[in-house]
Amino acid sequence: MTLQEVMMENDNADTEKPLSFFQMVGSVLASFFGVQSKKNKERDFKRGKASQFIAVGILMTIVWYGAIYFLVNIVLEK
C-alpha cells in the first residue's frame, strides 16, 4: 500500500464519522467572529448536522450573555 492510498483511506474515514462536540464548539466560535477556514467549513457541511450547530450556538449564546451579566454586576457593585 502506498502512502497516497493510506492518506486517501484516512480522509475517507474522517468524512464518515460525525463532528465531535469540541469541533462544533470551535466552528460556532469561528462563526461568532465571522472567520473560518475553507477546509473547516467544508468539513462542517459534510459531517455536521444543522440541529446540532443550532443547539450549540444557542447554548454558547446563553453562556456569553450570562458571563457579560455576571461581569457587569461585579463591576457595578464596586
Give the pLDDT band (50/70/90) at residue 15: low
Contacts of 7 (CB under 8 A, 6+ apart): none
pLDDT of residue 13 exceeding 60, the answer is no
* DSSP letters spanning 4-64: HHHHHHHHHHHHHSPPPHHHHHHHHHHHHHT---HHHHHHHHHH--HHHHHHHHHHHHHHH
pLDDT at residue 60, as a whole number: 94
pLDDT in tens, 37-69: 999 999 998 998 999 999 999 999 999 999 999
